[in-house]
């Protein structure tokens, strides 16, 4: 089983991910992972921390001469801003962060909670997802995340332009292909920051090249839609997840929701095996299984919790009413969320791929993938 867990504090020495069950024989290009880490640091509205860090992955175990061995892979991203031992506690818990609840649950300092709750941890989730994408690439599967709404402004120019957007996003502050709208969004972030407030938004991820039959209908905890929703919802500050039409499906009659099934013998070699769908309202998943169509997932990110103009809070020592503590913080991190959600989605797809086609070696996986495609065409 392909899986991972992470360790590390925001201002601790290092961040780690331990990836287990990654097949042997995959070429590991750390440059590709580093490019994702750079995107995660980007976006307009980030705070001072991103000027300190230059995140790079180090692979500590599980590869030999640049090829995976099938043994556990330990990934590390070192914190340049290591200062945990010198930091004080935060006396006034911030609404929207884990400060109050964590301090009470663990009967300890707020610092002990916020250091681990912090989205700094997503560096190594992105690294693990970047590793997963190297496996997906071998099967022609690509994932791409982008910002579709920010601070209530819908970003219009994306439909049909994903390729262009993909090329541009190295600059990482690109929200819209329309320069006027991009400028408008930057202004909105500036004005919001100046007023001591923060912004959220919506990100969308599209996964192309997914074969039929990843996930299963047969057991609740193996349904891929459920697993994807969990992975996405578990990203810091994500408060809603939709697959395909999502909540909009509840507002329409069935005839305008379900995707008709057609057949096109010319395209038997495609992941959809020639079973085309004129619409993809299901977002590539039916009954917890992939249906050969692109996977479409949206995630709603709430505004950053730490406010320069703080909301009411209580001093935990004196129990007096005071404004919440303020620490250096982002004003907006929606663009970072796009690559984070992309990579956690990619990891789940890779997990399901390993489950269906075997996880010992890439060679065996490819042979089984080809055999399945052939058998499925003959079905
Ligand atoms: C990329 C990213 C950057 C974030 N930056 C900050 C930040 O600078 N300050 C802050 O208070 N919250 C920030 N957050 C959100 C908090 O980590 C998050 O709200 C908190 O851990 C509570 O978890 P919850 O919102 O999932 O309930 C960020 C989230 C993401 C995804
Ligand atoms: C460090 C990152 O994000 C951090 C996420 C975060 C939070 O509370 O989630 C709080 C801030 O931490 P700091 O006080 O060190 O600036 C962000 O910068 C990062 O994304 O690399």
Determine the atom of ligand 1 nearest the C-alpha atom of 238: 26
How many residues in the chain?
379
d(CA 116, CA 233): 17
Contact 329, 308 (CB under 8 A): yes
Determine the atom of ligand 2 nearest the C-alpha atom of 237: 9
**CA 158 to centroid of ligand 1, rounded, Å:** 26
Contact 210, 345 (CB under 8 A): no
Residue 198 CB–ligand 2 contact under 6 Å: no
Q: Which helix (H) or strand (E) holds 215?
A: strand 212-215
Q: What is the DSSP letter of 258?
A: S
d(CA 354, CA 69): 15
Within 10 angstroms of residue 210's Cβ, the number of other Cβ atoms is: 27
* Token output for 365: 């996986």
Dmax over CA atoms of the chain, in Å, equals 74
Task: Kindly report, residue by residue over 217-259, the tens digit of the pLDDT.
Answer: 999 999 999 999 999 999 999 999 999 999 999 999 999 999 9
Tally of helices (H runs) and strands (E runs) in the chain: 10, 18
Task: Kindly report, residue by residue over 326-358, the tens digit of the pLDDT.
Answer: 989 999 999 999 999 999 999 999 999 999 999
Residues forming the annotated binding site for FMN? Answer: 116-118, 236-237, 287, 302-306, 328
Residue 330 CB–ligand 1 contact under 6 Å: yes
**CA 331 to centroid of ligand 2, rounded, Å:** 11
Place of tokens 């590869």: 63
Task: Kindly report, residue by residue over 286-336, the tens digit of the pLDDT.
Answer: 999 999 999 999 999 999 999 999 999 999 999 999 999 998 999 999 999
Q: Which ipTM was obtained for this model?
A: 0.99
Residue 329 CB–ligand 1 contact under 6 Å: yes
Within 10 angstroms of residue 305's Cβ, the number of other Cβ atoms is: 20
């Amino acid at each position: 089983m392909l899986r991972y867990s992470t360790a590390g504090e925001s201002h601790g020495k290092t961040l780690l991910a331990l990836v287990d069950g990654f097949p042997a024989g995959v070429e590991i290009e750390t440059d590709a992972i580093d490019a994702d880490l750079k995107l995660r640091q980007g976006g307009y509205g980030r705070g001072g921390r991103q000027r300190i860090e230059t995140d790079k992955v180090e692979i500590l175990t599980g590869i030999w001469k640049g090829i995976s061995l099938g043994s556990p892979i330990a990934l590390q991203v070192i914190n340049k801003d290591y200062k945990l031992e010198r930091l004080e506690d935060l006396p006034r818990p911030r609404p929207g962060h884990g400060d109050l609840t964590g301090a009470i649950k663990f009967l300890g300092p707020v610092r002990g909670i916020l250091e681990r709750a912090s989205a700094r941890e997503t560096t190594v989730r992105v690294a693990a997802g970047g590793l997963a994408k190297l496996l997906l690439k071998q099967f022609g599967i690509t994932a791409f995340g982008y910002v579709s709404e920010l601070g209530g402004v819908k970003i219009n120019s994306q439909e049909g332009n994903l390729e262009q957007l993909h090329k541009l996003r190295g600059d990482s502050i690109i929200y819209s292909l329309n320069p006027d709208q991009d400028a408008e969004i930057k202004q909105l972030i500036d004005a919001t920051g100046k007023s001591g407030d923060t912004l959220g938004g919506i990100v969308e991820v599209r996964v192309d090249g997914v074969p039929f039959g990843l996930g299963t209908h047969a057991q609740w905890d193996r349904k891929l839609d459920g697993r994807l929703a969990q992975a996405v919802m578990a990203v810091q500050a994500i408060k809603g997840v939709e697959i395909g039409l999502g909540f909009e499906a509840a507002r329409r009659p069935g005839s305008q929701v379900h995707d008709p099934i057609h057949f096109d013998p010319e395209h038997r070699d495609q992941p959809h095996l020639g079973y085309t769908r004129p619409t993809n309202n299901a977002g590539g998943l039916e009954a917890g299984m992939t249906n050969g169509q692109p996977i479409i997932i949206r995630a709603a990110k709430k505004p950053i919790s730490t406010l320069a103009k703080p909301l009411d809070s209580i001093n935990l020592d004196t129990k007096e009413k005071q404004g919440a503590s303020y620490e250096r913080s982002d004003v907006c991190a929606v663009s970072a969320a796009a690559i984070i959600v992309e990579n956690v989605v990619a990891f789940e797809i890779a997990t399901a791929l390993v489950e269906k086609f075997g996880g010992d070696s890439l060679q065996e996986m490819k042979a089984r993938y080809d055999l399945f495609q052939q058998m499925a065409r003959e079905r």
